[in-house]
Structure 1
Amino acid sequence: SSTASSASTAQCCSLSVPQAPDKPEMLSGSLTTHVLNTATGLPAAGLALRLTQLGEPGEQWTELAQRWTDADGRCLPLLPPGQAEAGTYKLRFETAAYWKSLGYSSFYPFVEVVFTITDPAQKLHVPLLISPYSYTTYRGS
């Protein structure tokens, strides 16, 4: 009986150990994002976004990447490793089109998150939490 119990415990424990996701391309970028729909508690799939960089000097923005979120609310890295430079960047999330695709209207037609990269070697993650009438962002890890 104790042998069966030990085997059962060992099998249970080996099955419950979480494994790293098999998506290295999603995790290895120097700039990534993740969008969650807080109205449903689910990832925001199919949301269009773009990354631009502010040119120095002046106010000219240059588009660097355009993506759509996958079923998990994530997309391929916006800046692959080694491509980031120190400077000011803007992530624009097309929230009105996303909410319209779900049959809702949105108070915010888009969300722009402007941030500064001071250490290009550091991995940056910019999550966005959205609902039709609010949004929240923060510097993630």
Structure 2
Amino acid sequence: MSGKLSTHVLDTVNGCPARNMQIDLSTIADDGQKNLLKTLYTNQDGRTDELLLNETEIKAGIYEICFYVSDYFASCGASLPQPNFLTTVPVRFGIADESDRYHVPLLVSPWAYSTYRGS
């Protein structure tokens, strides 16, 4: 099995995929330093057109996906207080097995979110 990392974002307020949300993927060094690997945007299905990490890119280590939720909800025309309750949602996690598949979905509203390790 080839390892990979993917994501999927669902807008729980509007009951639809979160389209055109910015996502930053970074590695986290032992000293806590973040190193931005790439910036992607979700497509019409709330997924990225390319994998966050493909089989040649995936390495064991600590990663962080940063989801730009306030920008997304502003682009949808949501009436939100300033400052927004949630601005970005960072999800920090470890990859232990480079040959495994990792999927990190985000279910999000302007006030709450949930994530888990999917398949």
TM-score w.r.t. the length of structure 1 is 0.76
Note if 1:63 corresponds to 2:36: yes
Note if 1:73 corresponds to 2:46: yes
Match of 1:110 in 2: 88
Match of 2:105 in 1: 127
| Cα RMSD (Å) | 1.3
Mean Cα deviation higher: 100-109 or 87-96: 100-109
Instruction: Point out which structure has higher relative CO (alpha carbons under 8 A, 6+ apart).
Output: 2
Mean Cα deviation higher: 43-52 or 98-107: 98-107
| Structure 1: tracts of 5 or more residues without a match | 1-27
Would you say the 8 A contact 1:29–1:77 is kept in 2? Answer: no
Identity %: 41
| Structure 2: tracts of 5 or more residues without a match | none
SS at match of 1:113: strand
TM-score w.r.t. the length of structure 2 is 0.90
**Equivalent AA in structure 1 for residue 96 of structure 2:** T
Question: Once the two structures are superposed, what CA deviation does each residue of 1:32-82 show, in whole Å capped at 9, x if it has no partner?
Answer: 0000001111000010001000123x1211111110000000001010113
Distance 2:35 2:60 in 1: 14
- The count of residues paired between Structure 1 and Structure 2 equals 113
Match of 1:5 in 2: none
Question: Once the two structures are superposed, what CA deviation does each residue of 1:120-141 show, in whole Å capped at 9, x if it has no partner?
Answer: 1101000000111110000000
Q: Which is greater in Rg?
A: 1
Distance 1:29 1:122 in 2: 4
Give 1 or 2: higher strand fraction: 2
Q: Which runs of 4+ in 1 moved over 3 A?
A: none
Question: Once the two structures are superposed, what CA deviation does each residue of 1:72-113 show, in whole Å capped at 9, x if it has no partner?
Answer: 000010101131111100000000100111112242001000
SS at match of 1:140: coil
